Amino acid sequence: MICTVRVLVVEDEVPLARLIREGLTGDGLLADVAIRGEDALWMAGATAYDVICLDVNLPGIDGFETCRRLREEGVTTPILMLTARDAVDDRIAGLDTGADDYLVKPFDFGELLARLRALSRRPPVVDDAVLTVGDLTLDPATHQVQRRGTHIDLSVKEVQILEVFMRRPGEVLSRLQVLEGAWDSGYENRSNVIDVYIRYLREKIDRPFGVETLETVRGAGYRLRPG
Ligand code: CA
């Protein structure tokens, strides 16, 4: 099981959508953006999101209608509506159409993040147990990685990739499986990025300790040797 929270951001103001996406990604979440409500409908049908951040004012079908149709189609993903300032009716209408919470624009980013995390299905990351494979440990709550008690400094993305392997020790994972575990859906041309990250990871988690645990399985992918 991979525990990264996956968010669908539905917002037609592209700069704001980008800002939200970058903020979420920077905090270790995965985020996809839909510009229109119609896009959100098929995207939410195709991918299991943990939470949807849905703007009310959208071209085409608006946020309320999008929310209503999502529920109609059986999508039970928690929905946070972004409403206009002081639009009390908006709030009521939002919760009426099946939204779980709302946030008034302009919002504080920390508040948005806290609400999205609270709504997401996944148990809070802080409750996740420390992962251990051999003498390598990864704490999903703090992103701390250690081998033999020595702290290893990794980027957010490196931790996400390592976590995919540490949740399935000994299993051969294809590049696609690693991509799906650690990236959102903008990854089409990134399959050789995996190879690059694997090299970074080996330089940090293996080489300084004189071990070779992150193995290449020719023609299949990669494997983290257990124990
Ligand atoms: Ca909008």
Where is pLDDT greater, at 192 or 21? 21
The range of the structural domain enclosing residue 101 comes to: 6-120
Distance 70 CA to ligand 1 centre (A): 18
Distance 211 CA to ligand 1 centre (A): 51
* Torsion, Cα of 39, 45, 51, 55 (10° steps): 20
Q: What is the CATH classification number for the domain harbouring 98?
A: 3.40.50.2300
CB 183 within 8 A of CB 175: no
Q: How far is CA 46 from CA 39, 40, 180, in A?
A: 11, 10, 13
Other CB atoms within 10 A of residue 225 CB: 15
Distance 11 CA to ligand 1 centre (A): 5
Distance 203 CA to ligand 1 centre (A): 44
Q: pLDDT tens-digit profile of 137-187?
A: 999 878 899 999 999 999 888 998 999 999 899 999 988 888 877 877 655
1: pLDDT confidence band, cut at 50, 70 and 90? very low
Domain boundary among 97, 120, 143: 120
pLDDT at 45 over 60: yes
Distance 52 CA to ligand 1 centre (A): 15
Q: How many domains does the chain have?
A: 2
pLDDT at 124 over 50: no
Point out which residues pair with 32 in neighbouring strands.
8
**1 domain residue, yes or no:** no
Same domain, 24 and 114: yes
Where is pLDDT greater, at 75 or 1? 75
- Predicted confidence at residue 223, as pLDDT, reads 96
In the chain, the percentage of residues whose pLDDT exceeds 70 is 88
91: pLDDT confidence band, cut at 50, 70 and 90? low
Domain boundary among 120, 139, 155: 120
> Taking phi first (over 0 means left), then psi (-120 to 50 degrees means alpha), and beta for anything else, what does residue 86 get?
left
Same domain, 111 and 23: yes
- Predicted confidence at residue 214, as pLDDT, reads 97
- Largest Cα separation within the chain, whole Å, is 63
Distance 194 CA to ligand 1 centre (A): 35
**126 domain residue, yes or no:** no
- Predicted confidence at residue 19, as pLDDT, reads 92
One-letter amino acid for residue 104 of the chain: V
126: pLDDT confidence band, cut at 50, 70 and 90? very low
How far apart CA 143 and CA 137 sit, in angstroms, is 10
Distance 182 CA to ligand 1 centre (A): 28
- Predicted confidence at residue 85, as pLDDT, reads 62
